[in-house]
Amino acid sequence: MSKPRVLIVEDEPDIAELMRFHCEREGYEARTAASGKIALEAVKKEPPALVLLDLMLPDVGGVEVCRRMKQWAETKDVPVVMVTAKGEESDVVAGLEIGADDYVVKPFSPRVLMARVRAVMRRNSEESAPAPTNRIERLDGRLVIDADRHVVTVCGDVIDLTVTEFGILAHLAQRPGFVRTRDQIIAAVHGRNVVLSSRTIDVHVTALRKKLADLAGCVETVRGVGYRFAESLVPAE
């Protein structure tokens, strides 16, 4: 089996080399593109298994690269991990909303970067396999979401959630560790006769956490971006 190929889109050579080193050490084949234009040509010619995408690029910016990739049939399913500088939260939100999978903030630790790459690769291969999605078990079975019956249990006890709280929790729990923006959450919960604004999401999340009691920490706030379901939970003291 050939190695999965990662395309590293980064205009700073030192950072690109650092990423290449760590990708290759993890067993991926790594290629680099120093501009958005080069990256777009490369992904179209030969779609990689994953793209690490710097947002500040000399010609075509990262968000635009992602937007075009998601429009093309050949590249729309290629996962994208954005690599951003601090203070680019609005770009991160824009990127997530057009289909980027995740992001890492510079300066990144190689360990964190590769953990995100592995998680996105893993998630992508799981998604291509047919999986029952109506029952979600998380946190070693302490949280169970049964979408058919619209029932949530925390450590075996049924908790009483509103339609909106249920929708938010079910949406976030589908992809632990991945941030969803408020607009993405609204879109996911929409259509269940629920009117939801950006601001009211925070209110619903607060109520949801209260009901989750010991598991409240599983709904994490990502400042400036949105919310995320925790990959693991440190037990409360």
DSSP string over 192-223: SS----HHHHHHHHHHHHHHHGGGGGGEEEET
**Shortest CB 33 distance to Ca ion, Å:** 12
Read off φ and ψ for residue 34, nearest 5 degrees: -90, 0
Tokens 């690029």, residue? 57
Figure out which of the listed residues 38, 42, 56, 207 binds Ca ion, where binding follows CB under 5 A. 56
How many whole angstroms from its chain centre is CA 18?
23
Q: Considering only residues 82 through 101, tell me which ones interact with Ca ion, judged by CB under 5 A.
A: none
Which residue number places its CB atom closest to Ca ion? Answer: 56
C-beta closer to Ca ion: residue 58 or 141: 58
Among residues 116 and 180, whose Cβ is nearest to Ca ion? Answer: 116
Q: Are strands 102-105 and 135-138 parallel, antiparallel or unpaired?
A: unpaired
Q: How far is the CB of 118 from Ca ion (least distance, A)?
A: 24
In contact, 180 and 95? CB cutoff 8 Å: no
The nearest distance, CB 51 to Ca ion, in angstroms, is 14
Q: With contact defined as beta carbons under 8 Å apart, do 28 and 5 qualify? A: yes
Site residue total, Ca ion (CB under 5 A):
3
Q: Nearer to Ca ion by C-beta: 56 or 60?
A: 56
Nearest approach, Cβ of residue 105 and Ca ion (Å) = 13
Question: Does residue 165 touch Ca ion according to CB under 5 A?
Answer: no
Contact pattern from residue 9 through residue 48 relative to Ca ion, giving x for each residue in contact according to CB under 5 A and a dash for the rest:
--x-------------------------------------
Q: How far is the CB of 230 from Ca ion (least distance, A)?
A: 30
Q: Where does this chain touch Ca ion (CB under 5 A) — which range of 51-59, 64-72, 99-107, 137-145? A: 51-59
Which of 54, 88, 91, 101 is the binder for Ca ion (CB under 5 A)? 54
Q: State yes or no: cis peptide before 4, omega within 30 of 0.
A: no
Of 56-64, 74-82, 136-144, 178-186: span binding Ca ion (CB under 5 A): 56-64
End-to-end CA distance of the chain: 46
Beginning with the edge strand found earlier in the chain, give each strand of the sheet holding 5-9 in spatial order.
Answer: 29-33, 5-9, 50-54, 80-84, 102-105
**Can residue 102 be called a binding residue for Ca ion (CB under 5 A)?**
no
Q: Which residue has the tokens 């079910």?
A: 170
Distance CA 180, CA 101 (A): 9
The amino acid that residue 109 corresponds to is: S
Contacting residues toward Ca ion, per CB under 5 A: 11, 54, 56
